[in-house]
Structure 1
Amino acid sequence: MAHNSKSLLLVKLAFFGAIVLYGSVSATRSITTSDPVNGVGAWDLEKHYLEELGKYAVAAHNLGSQHKLTFQKVITCDPLSHSHSHKLTLAATDHGVTHTYEAVVAYKPWAQFKKLISFKIC
């Protein structure tokens, strides 16, 4: 019985280690959601991560703006070097008209920290 619980623990550690490793590897490249390799068909975790950052950026922008935007999609995501920030190019609608915006979001998931650094129309 003790052997099975140790094996299960090792499997769980390997799984979470793979997720952490994948996150650090994927953070070193630009991600484009319109690309079939990195967008549709990409691993659900990465897709969810990008969508979460994009939705957060629009929601944080809406808090201090008269123009209430509606998130549509993340177009690209570039990790910024030597920081825990991401530069997002995203699509959002303003009164039914879709525009492209650039947002910089500081994100530290282990500390449950997100902060919108900048948000502007492209």
Structure 2
Amino acid sequence: MEIPRRLPSQLPLILYLFFIILHTNVATTDTIKVGDWKEILNDTLVQDLGMYAVLRYNNSTGSNLSFYAVFEAQAQTVAGLNFRLALQALDADFPRLYKAYVWEKPWENFKNLTSFEPVLG
């Protein structure tokens, strides 16, 4: 008496379900890919980066801006992390908007302000 083998007839169904589950998992994974910008929470780190950006800008230009707040932040994974910050600073008591980019490599204790520009409008 021969035992019926059902595995071959069920194999396409099993493979189909496996690929559906795999595709769903990949599509819903919330990770930062290298080079992609991702919104980040406005936490203490973000505010500290904004303060750092204003201080470095003041030191390099002789300006006297006063940091107020970061209201939007994004991060990009590169050789370290790039942070794109939309921030507000006071210039002679008048609030102004700025966009700053800070590159950080925490494992090397490295941080650099790569761009700081006023937002016109």
TM-score band, normalised by shorter chain: 0.5 to 0.7
- Could you tell me which runs of 5 or more consecutive residues in structure 2 were left unpaired when the two chains were aligned: 1-30
Distance 2:106 2:78 in 1: 16
Q: 1:29 matched to which residue of 2?
A: 38
Residues paired across the two proteins, number: 85
Select which of 74, 92, 96 maps to 1:95.
Answer: 92
Residue deviations 1:19-73, cap 9 Å, x none? xxxxx86x96313xxxxxx45xxxxxxx111011001000000002232100000
Q: 2:53 matched to which residue of 1?
A: 57
- Could you tell me which runs of 5 or more consecutive residues in structure 1 were left unpaired when the two chains were aligned: 1-23, 32-37, 40-46
More displaced stretch, 112-121 vs 65-74 = 65-74
Distance 2:111 2:77 in 1: 17
Q: 1:68 matched to which residue of 2?
A: 64
Q: TM-score, normalised by structure 1?
A: 0.62
Q: TM-score, normalised by structure 2?
A: 0.62
RMSD: 2.1
Residue deviations 1:66-119, cap 9 Å, x none? 321000001111113535211100000000000010000001122111000000
Q: Extract structure 1 runs of 4+ deviating beyond 2 A.
A: 80-83
Structure with bigger strand share is 2
Distance 1:28 1:120 in 2: 19
Distance 2:108 2:44 in 1: 18
Which structure has the greater CA radius of gyration? Answer: 2
Identity across matched positions, percent: 29
Q: 1:111 matched to which residue of 2?
A: 108
